[in-house]
Amino acid sequence: MQDHSLRYAGNRTGFLLIHGLGGTPVELRLVARAIHRSGYTVNCPQLAGHCGTEADLLATSWRDWVASVLAELDRMKESCDRIIVGGLSMGAVMAMHIAAERPADVAGLALYAPTLWYDGWSIPRYAFLLKWLINTPMGRRYSFAEREPYGIKDPRTRQVIMGAMSSGDSTQAGLLTTPSRALQQMWQLIALTRRQMPSIRCPALLVHPREDDIASLSNAFHIQRRLGGLVDAVVLDDSYHLVTIDQQRDIVVERSVALAARLEAAHEAENKTVLLRAVAAP
């Protein structure tokens, strides 16, 4: 399968951004490029089984998706002194899992519309039944199909995305539907990550739209309460789920860059303290 990962080389502070389930690195491209213009290294890896067919996705598990991110993290450690791991939707959940598993390698988190459960205003009311039906013949055949507005409030951007989706090119807009077995893998990752949240101590940026059509604001409130470190929470008032594409993405960029700047300032202050102690030592 061809690799559609995005990589923008910059300074020694890096962002590792993860796309969502059934998605593609393209959904992070606008934000990644803007963060890179501020001087930072930004990498957006393609998760295993993605940017291909539904069969490609079903041939992988959440552990394969995580392995894709860990490989990218190890690659970035060769050129970056500190790395902020983040992502969109399920990608944000995966970022938290990585922070719990590799705390020494993750300086901060950038969580964009993190999704623990599908409860946005566009989700059918019966969707919660899928977890119980998934092991039945009907449940195993089910595929989750997004509906308008497809996570995008801006009508012009939505038309572009709808065109890409209808073209059948999964490298540009992801898969049209998400099979239930892939959802089951995601739920396993979410269940594990929810247990890990209190152990995550690094600072986190959490951006979530008030009118999220896929995952309500309650997802963000839950994460804010559960994480073990400081959380900078930002609520967007004019965006839907795909905050890295929608009309308030500049705020996503601005707050992400601010997080990186704070981490750099803290690192510099720590180095000065160490130097002063060394000078003062007899």
CA-to-CA dists, residue 71 to 46, 77, 181, 260, 269, angstroms: 11, 10, 24, 22, 31
Count of Cβ atoms closer than 10 Å to residue 281 Cβ: 6
Mean pLDDT of the chain: 91
Residue pLDDT, tens place only, 58-93: 999 999 999 999 999 999 999 999 999 999 999 999
Q: Indicate the DSSP class of residue 79.
A: T
Give me the catalytic one of 154, 212, 213, 246.
212
pTM of the entire predicted model: 0.91
In this structure, what token pair is assigned to residue 116?
């623990």
The residues, ordered by sequence, that sit 6+ positions from 119 with a Cβ below 8 Å of its Cβ are 128, 215, 216, 218, 219
Residue 247: both structure tokens together: 């009309």
Instruction: Please report where in the chains the tokens 């119980």 appear, as a residue.
Output: 132
Mode of pairing for the β-strands spanning 108-112 and 143-145? unpaired
Question: Would you call 89 a catalytic residue per the annotation?
Answer: yes
Domains annotated on the chain, with CATH: 6-280 (3.40.50.1820)
Give strand pairing partners of 14: 41, 83
Provide the pLDDT confidence category of residue 278 given band limits of 50, 70 and 90: low
Q: Of residues 36, 50, 97, 241, which has the active-site annotation?
A: 241
DSSP readout, 240-254?
-S-TTTSTTHHHHHH
Whether 105 is a known active-site residue: answer no
Position 279 pLDDT exceeds 70: no
Residue range 181-223, pLDDT digits in tens:
999 999 999 999 999 999 999 999 999 999 999 999 999 999 9
Q: Dump pLDDT digits (tens) for 22-72.
A: 999 999 999 999 999 999 999 999 999 999 999 999 999 999 999 999 999
Which pLDDT band, with edges at 50, 70 and 90, does 107 fall under? Answer: very high
Which of the following is catalytic: 89, 170, 216, 256?
Answer: 89
